[in-house]
Structure 1
Amino acid sequence: MKVSRALLAATGVIAVSSSSAFAIEAGGNPQTKAGILIGASAGVPPPGIYMFNQEFTYQANLTGPGVNTALGGSTKTGVQAAVDVQGFLFVPGWTFLGATYDAVIAQPLVMDSVGSPVNAQAAGMHNTFIVPVELSWKLADSGFVVKTGLGIYTPDGTVTGLYGTGNEGSPYWTFQPEIIVSYLKDGWNLTAAIYEEFNTRNSVSQYTSGDILHADFTATKTIGKWTFGPVAYYYGQVSNDSCSATCAYSTGTMLNPQRFNVWAVGGLVGYDFGPANLSVWATQEVSAKASNPAAVAATGSDFSLIPQGTTVLATLSYRLWGPEQAAQPTSMYHK
C-alpha cells in the first residue's frame, strides 16, 4: 500500500502559490499551489489517521505584457517562495452511496518575495484548508477510481495592509470543488485531477478575484519500492475579476490580468520506506501568458503580469493511527 499516493489523493494536500502580486487582485495569489495534486490518485488508504508534511520552493521571474508597462522593461523581476504544509487525512472507514469517505485539514505557512522594482516580502500563515467530505468510488476490478470532493479555504490567515492582501492570508473564502480520475493497476498511476477556485469578495477591499481552473497530470510506475514518471500541470484564470462602486481600487480591474494560462512539465520520483513514504517532484513552467483586453481597449496598454519558473516539492506521508485489524486493499495498489 502506497501511503503517499493515497494521501496525495486528498485535495487537502494544499499549499499557497506564491504567484506575483499581480496575478489576481493586487497583492493576492491563487489560493492553491499549481500542481499540488501531482502524484495524487483517486484512491483512499485503509481506515486510520494519516499525517503529511510538504515542503516546496518556487523560483520564477515575472513575464507578460506588464514587463514593459508596469515594470519598465525589467525582465528579471524575481518571485521566490518557501512553503511548509502540515496536514491530516482522516479515513473513518465509512461508505456512502458505494463510495469511501475521507476528510482533510491542512495548514500552509509561507515566506515569499518579489524583487525589484516591486520589492515586496511577506511571511505568515496562509488560510487553513478544510475538506469536510471526499468520496471515492472504485469501479469494480477495472483499475479505474473516481473521487470527488469540496475543499474550503477559511479566511483565518495572516492579513495585513490597506487592502488586506499585504501578507499570506486572504480576507475572503475560497470554495474548491474537485474531480479526480485514476487508473491504478499493475503499479501504474495514471491520474488527471481537475479542481477550480471560486472566491468570495475581499471583505477589506471589496474586490472579487476571478475563478482559477487547475489540472494536474500524473503518469507514474511503481517498481519495488521506487515510483517514477512524468508529470505536468495547467492553471489559468477563467472568469473576470470584479470591482464594484464600493471597491477600494480607483483603477478597478485595469491593473490586473483578467486571463492567464500557465503550463508546466516535469518528473516525479518516490521511495517507500515502509512506515513512511517520500516523494519529490520538479516542474518547469514552459508557457505563461497573461492579458487584460479591457485595459488595452481603455488605455492602449496591458499591465498584466504572471510568474514563470520552477517548482521543487517534497512530501513525506505516514500513518499515525489505525484500527488493529484495518482492512487492507487487495487490488487498488500494487507493487
Structure 2
Amino acid sequence: MSCLAGSGPAEAGSAAQPGQSVGLPVGAQIPHGLYWITATNFGVRQTTPGVTPLNVNTTTLAWSTPWELAGARVQFFLGAPYSAVAPQDSAWQSGFGQPLLAGQLAWDLGNDFGFSYLLGGYFPSQTRFTTQTSSLTHRFALSYVGNDWNLTAHLFYGHFLGDRPPPGAVYPDYMNLDLTATRNFGKWQIGAVAFGSTDLPTGVASYRPQGQIAVGGLIGYNFGPVNLQAFVTRDVIDRNYGGRDTRAWLRAIVPLYQDKREAAPNRTLVTREQSQ
C-alpha cells in the first residue's frame, strides 16, 4: 500500500504493504485457534522539497481451523488497515484502506519445515491516497522453525482486477519478498529482517515503476501468551519513490482461543510439533 504521488500517471504501488509479514513464520502451521494480530508502523521518506511521513495501522483476525485439505491445515484471515500520510509536509490525510479476506493452506513438510499458499482478495477503498481498485493476492511462504530459529521467505504476487481506476492512476501488478532470520533465546526473539518490492510492467510508457529494498533488525518478547515484536527498517535502495524510507514497526499477537496441546512455549505462531 502506498500513497498516490508524482506527475502524469499516478504511482500506486503494492496493495500489500512491503515488509508487513517479517518476523512471522508464515510458512508454518498456526496452532488451532483464533488470534488477533495488531500492528502499527510509522516512517518518514526523505522526499524533496519536504519529507513524507506515513503511518499504517492494521488489525487482523486469524483462524486456524481443525480442517485439512490436500494434507494442509486450512486457515483464514480477515484484515483491515487505517492509514495517515502527509505528502511532502502538507496537511495530514487519513482513512481506512482496503479490507483483505484470505484463505491459506499450510503444510507441515517435516524436519521443522513448513510451506503455505495464501489466496486472498483486497476490496475497493474510497480513501483516495491509497489503492482503490480490488485485487487478488497470491502468497507463497517457506519457513524453517527448528532449533529456536525462524528462517522464512515470503513471496507476494498481486494482480489488480478490471475495476476502473481513478483518473490519472495506474495500478501495476507487483511482487514483494519479505525475509526473516531470527532466533529465540528463552522468551526473547532477536534477529535480522529485510524486504523488497517491485512493480511489474504496465505497458504505460509514461509510468515510472516503483521498487525498494530495505533491511533492519527485530527484537521480540513472549509475555505468555501475548507476543510483542518491534523492528526498525531502512531503505538501502529505492526506485521512483522520491527518497528513502526509515520505518519503526510494532506488532502484538494475542490468542483469543488456542489449542493448548499444540501451543509451544516461547514461540510465535508455531506448533509444538514443528518446534521439536
SS at match of 1:198: strand
- Residue of structure 2 in register with 1:220 after alignment: 182
2:78 matched residue in structure 1: 105
TM-score (norm 2): 0.88
Partner of 1:96: 69
Shift of 1:203: 2.3
Kindly provide the CA deviation profile for residues 279-328 of structure 1, in whole angstroms up to 9, marking residues without a partner as x.
Answer: 011100011123xxxxxxxxxxxxxx4442111111111111245x6544
Partner of residue 44, structure 2: 59
Report SS of the residue matched to 1:87. strand
User: Match for 1:149 among 118, 125, 129?
Assistant: 118
Contact 1:219/1:231 (<8 A) preserved: yes
Q: Does 1:129 align with 2:100?
A: yes
Structure 2 residues without counterparts, runs of 5 or longer: 264-270
Residue 31, structure 1, aligned to residue 4, structure 2: no
Question: What one-letter code is carried by the residue in structure 2 that aligns with 1:158?
Answer: Q
Offset of residue 30 of structure 1: 2.5
1:94 match: secondary structure: strand
Question: What does residue 268 of structure 2 align with?
Answer: none
Alpha-carbon distance in 1 for matches of 2:76, 2:8:
29
Indicate which of 234, 243, 261 corresponds to 1:284. 234
Amino acid of the structure 1 residue aligned with 2:121 = I
Gaps of 5+ in 1: 1-16, 63-74, 160-165, 243-252, 291-304
CA distance in 1, matches of 2:95, 2:22: 25
Q: How does 1:301-320 map to 2 (within 5 A)?
A: 305-320=241-256
Aligned residues of 1:209 and 1:241 also touching (Cα < 8 A): no
Q: What does residue 8 of structure 1 align with?
A: none
Larger Cα Rg: Structure 1 or Structure 2?
Answer: 1
**Count of matched residue pairs:** 267
Query: Whole-Å Cα distance in 2 between the matches of residues 318 and 238 of structure 1?
Result: 35
Cα distance change, pair 51–260 in 1 and its aligned pair in 2 (3 A): same
Contact 2:142–2:152 under 8 Å retained in 1: yes
Q: Is residue 79 from structure 1 mapped to residue 63 from structure 2 by the alignment?
A: no
- Alpha carbons 1:109, 1:125 under 8 Å: kept: yes
The counterpart of 2:136, out of the listed 175, 181, 185, is 175
Cα distance in 2 for residues equivalent to 1:24 and 1:138: 48
Asked whether the 8 Å contact 1:260–1:306 carries over to 2, the reply is no
Alignment-derived partner of residue 198 in structure 1: 159
CA RMSD of aligned residues (A): 2.3
Query: Shift in Å at residue 27 of structure 1?
Result: 6.6
Q: Name the aligned partner's letter for residue 31 of structure 1.
A: A
Structure 2 partner of 1:3: none
Distance (Å, rounded) in 1 between the aligned partners of 2:159 and 2:36: 27
Q: What does 1:7-22 correspond to in 2, within 5 Å?
A: 17-19=1-3, 21-22=5-6
* Equivalent position amino acid for 2:57 in 1: D
SS class of match (1:115): helix
Other structure's SS at 2:234 match: strand
**1:43 counterpart residue number:** 28
Name the CA distance, whole Å, in 2 between partners of 1:209 and 1:187.
40
The answer (yes or no) to whether the contact 1:195–1:215 under 8 Å persists in 2 is yes
Q: Secondary structure at the match of 2:145?
A: strand
- Cα displacement (A) at 1:333: 2.9
Q: 1:151 to 1:314 in 2, by over 3 A?
A: same
In the other structure, the counterpart of 2:149 is 188
- Among 203, 214, 217, the alignment partner of 1:264 is 214
Deviation at 1:202, TM superposition (A): 4.5
**1:177–1:146 distance in 2 versus 1, CA, 3 Å:** same
Q: SS of the residue aligned with 1:103? A: strand
1:237 shift after superposition:
1.0
Counterparts of 1:24 and 1:106, CA distance in 2: 32
1:203/1:44 CA distance change after superposition, 3 Å: same
Mark the CA change 1:49 to 1:311 in structure 2 (over 3 Å): closer, same or farther.
same
Alignment partners' CA distance in 1, 2:227 and 2:256: 13
The answer to whether the Cα contact below 8 Å between 1:176 and 1:196 also exists between their aligned partners in 2 is yes
